[in-house]
Amino acid sequence: MCKQIADRASKLFVCVIAFFVCGATGLGFALAQERASGAPTTSPTRAEVYFVGLKDGATVATKLTVRFGLRGMGIAPASEKRENTGHHHLLVDAELPPLDQPIPNDANHLHFDAGQTEGEITLTAGTHTLQLLMGDKDHIPLIPLVMSPRIRVVATEGAAPSAAAPSAAAPAPVAKGNRMPSPDMLRQMIPPGMERYLPDRLPDPRDFRR
């Protein structure tokens, strides 16, 4: 009887140990998968992102189109896993986010996860900072970081004033050139003795101006 009780206790102990081992293994596997899915993607060597036609200290309209330049890697929409690719994020008045987590999606962290290479933004009047940051399919920053320098822009209401158009009331410019002689001036230019060959009325050269 004692032997049977001992055998049953031993089997129960083995089952309990197996349960905990399997549970720990499953939990470890799940955690490993979670870490793998959230791990940053390695960026290509010498990849570079930059602003196109927008310099530090520039004065811009409050509503403007920002264009993104990229060298050394490609662009792919978010959720698509392609080697050596990523997509753009524009940081507006924001510091770099945590590098091991997805980039926030809010008014200061703009996502271009369809693979866009430009975006229209609206700024309040005043000074702002802009910075580009590439993220992987899960919006996690690439490592090494592929980011532009942070630039400062000054937003102003309205577009820059255009050149003034010529006034409609302004007089037409007078073409430079020799003045047309009148018929009286022509008669004075005729050598003496030639007057008899002149018609009674000389045509006015000014009637033939073009």
Q: Residue 71 — pLDDT band, cuts 50, 70, 90?
A: very high
The residue that leads in pLDDT, 182 or 58, is 58
Q: Residue 198 — pLDDT band, cuts 50, 70, 90?
A: low
| Contact assessment for residue 64 and residue 130, using Cβ atoms and an 8 Å cutoff | no
Per-residue pLDDT, 86:
97
Global pTM reads 0.59
Residue by residue, DSSP assigns 95-112 as: PPPPTTSPPP-BTTEEEE
Dihedral sign for Cα atoms in the order 27, 33, 35, 38 = negative
3-state secondary structure of 82: coil
Per-residue pLDDT, 175:
42
pLDDT digits (tens, 9 = 90+) for 80-126: 989 999 999 999 999 999 999 999 999 999 999 999 999 999 999 99
User: Whole-angstrom Cα distance, residue 85 to residue 134?
Assistant: 9
The answer, yes or no, to whether residue 42 has pLDDT greater than 70, is yes
pLDDT digits (tens, 9 = 90+) for 14-41: 444 444 444 444 434 443 444 444 567 9
Q: Residue 57 — pLDDT band, cuts 50, 70, 90?
A: very high
pLDDT digits (tens, 9 = 90+) for 127-175: 999 999 999 999 999 999 999 999 999 999 875 533 333 333 444 444 4
Judged on CB neighbours under 10 Å (0-12, 13-18, 19+), 88 is buried
Per-residue pLDDT, 172:
43
User: Whole-angstrom Cα distance, residue 88 to residue 70?
Assistant: 9
User: Whole-angstrom Cα distance, residue 86 to residue 111?
Assistant: 12
Q: Residue 77 — pLDDT band, cuts 50, 70, 90?
A: very high
Per-residue pLDDT, 39:
66
CATH code for the domain defined by 48-156: 2.60.40.10
User: Whole-angstrom Cα distance, residue 178 to residue 81?
Assistant: 78
